[in-house]
Amino acid sequence: MLLKAFALLAFASSILTQALAIDDDEDIMRQELHDRINQAASAQTMTGQNTTQSFLIKTRLLPNQSTTTNLSRFDNLYLSSVRTGAGTGDAVFTSNVTEGLQAFFNATTTKYPDYLAPLNFVGVSYPYAFKPTSSAYSDWSFVQINAGNDGAAVLKETLDYQYAGPLPWMVCDWWHGKPQLFIKKTILHPVTPPMGCADIELKKIWL
């Protein structure tokens, strides 16, 4: 009986040793994964994404547009948001710099090349994400600013949306009583803004 007891103790000790070894291996794997994530994030930051400095986004009215309406009212406005629901909003513009959203390039993902970066905005409790909407049978659609950190990827130099084509941004007086941001599908064909709307560029104003 005594020999059986010793044998059981030895067997239990062996199982415990193996379990501890497995735990150690899992800890090592978790640490290696953590290290790889940190290295990837550092590498992405080193490739040029500015994650330490935020910026405002300001409109610049493009030249050679209709003079029948006062389009100059759309120049030098700051990107802001109007709430449309819990954690959702539409992108609008304001002349008040204190109402402008602080934007930043999110470098927590490495799936984009150096010239692209997800666009996010500083929030009180969590970040907000830049979300151009899409409609299959329309030439333009509105832009949302919603809670989350998975902002749409834009060209870091021009802030153009990667799937839209060159100079995709348009501003109109629309359903919020404020100038509202729209995206045009210029990658398919040229899009002429409707009466009262204007083509704009979005420019970074570093803070």
CATH number, domain containing residue 154: 2.80.10
* pLDDT digit string, tens, across residues 67-113: 767 899 999 999 999 999 999 999 999 999 999 999 999 877 667 88
Within 13 Å, how many C-alpha atoms sit on residue 128's CB side?
24
Q: Are residues 81 and 12 in the same domain?
A: no
Q: Are residues 118 and 190 in the same domain?
A: yes
Are the beta carbons of 142 and 90 closer than 8 angstroms?
yes
Q: Are residues 13 and 83 in the same domain?
A: no
**Domain extent for 8:** 1-46
Are the beta carbons of 133 and 160 closer than 8 angstroms?
no
Q: Is the pLDDT of residue 24 over 90?
A: no
Q: Are residues 3 and 105 in the same domain?
A: no
Our count of domains for the chain comes to 2
* pLDDT digit string, tens, across residues 183-203: 998 777 788 888 889 999 999
